[in-house]
Amino acid sequence: MADNRAGPAELLSRTQEFAYQPDAVHWARACAWVPGTGHCRNRDCDIVCLFRAQRDADARNVRRWRRLRRIFAGRR
């Protein structure tokens, strides 16, 4: 699961892991995922997406923060 609070060493490790993928150049150009938003503009590649785990974790984090924001907004 991806963690947006990862330190520099972990981010470097993820970057290196991505760069070693044989189809990294394709995904670097073709991917429409917008990190930090949980949104991907191109769902056609959902199953084979190299970033699927990170994108799914990102989307869960966005949903969680929205839910918490609604809960705390209701307490005011």
Cα–Cα distance, 21 to 30 (Å, whole number): 14
Query: What pLDDT tens digit does each residue of the chain (76 aa) get?
Result: 445 566 677 766 777 777 777 777 887 777 888 888 878 887 677 778 878 888 888 889 999 999 999 988 887 6
Residue among 69, 61, 6, 15 at smallest CA distance from 38? 61
d(CA 49, CA 13): 19
DSSP letter string over 19-49?
A: HTSTTHHHHHHH--EETTTTEES-GGGTTT-
In this structure, what token pair is assigned to residue 73? Answer: 């907004």
Domain boundaries, the chain: 8-74
pTM over 0.75: no
Predicted local distance difference test score (pLDDT) of residue 2: 47
